[in-house]
Amino acid sequence: MGHTEFTFINRGRDSLAVLLPGWATDWRIFDRLDIEYDYLVPGRIDPDGFSESLERCLGQKKATLIGWSFGGVLGARFLARYPGSVSQAVFASVKERYPAAQTEKMKTYLARNRGAALKGFFRRCFRGHKAGDIHWFNTRLLDPYLKHADPGELTGQLDFLHQNPLPVDELKRHGHKMTFVAGAEDAVIPPEETLALKRIFPKARFVKLKNTGHASFLDPGFKYLLDGHNG
């Protein structure tokens, strides 16, 4: 079973948030997220055994989960297995399942030209975002993400997404802890796919943020969805 290491970032706050990044990124994608929490962030993620690794790291602490896309799937699986360790969970840009046709298509693009495939994916991630968000990503993170992309890790995570739909039966018991966030201009997971989860989780909160795309957590209004926000 795989293992994931975590790093604690002390920001002088009283509450803890676990930041779970999306596919092909890492915790630095959350650098512009300024919320009233200390952070716990993963290093290289191994989806197998991820929940067990996070539970060992948390110990007796409870945390807010903030999971984006692939990270949202990881967070949902953790909530389903260890609900007592979660005070609230905010899942940005997620859907119930990832069809094989979608993940296999991306794997084909990666095999053909990894750099071009990732650039195309990131362009879709930021479609509909403000120019400042796009400039920040392109100047700070794009080159590192392209340079350090691990083909085996990328394809393994795509396989994980296809093989692991949201554990809906277990999550139904914890709908009151969950908020699902959709970007109105999301070109990777259209907002209607996230909002369709309403029929499965009627007790959860659903929010559609205008003028933002797949990286919906970058919207200034995102922090107001967190119980620990003061303002």
Q: Do the beta carbons of residue 70 and residue 23 sit within 8 Å?
A: yes
**Tokens found for residue 94:** 């997620």
Give the model's pLDDT for residue 1.
64
Q: Is residue 205 one of the residues assigned to a domain?
A: yes
Give the model's pLDDT for residue 107.
98
The string of pLDDT tens digits covering residues 101-132 is 999 999 999 999 999 999 999 999 999 999 99
The string of pLDDT tens digits covering residues 2-20 is 799 999 999 999 999 999 9
Q: Which residue matches tokens 């084909």?
A: 108
Q: Is residue 188 one of the residues assigned to a domain?
A: yes
Closest CA to 165 of 65, 94, 91, 66: 94
CATH of residue 41: 3.40.50.1820
Total domains in the fold of the chain? 1
For residue 230, is pLDDT > 60? no
d(CA 30, CA 152): 24
Closest CA to 77 of 100, 55, 59: 55
List the domain range (segments joined by +) for residue 207: 6-97+166-225
pTM above 0.85, yes or no: yes
The string of pLDDT tens digits covering residues 67-99 is 999 999 999 999 999 999 999 999 999 999 999
The string of pLDDT tens digits covering residues 27-49 is 999 999 999 999 999 999 999 99
Q: Is residue 81 one of the residues assigned to a domain?
A: yes
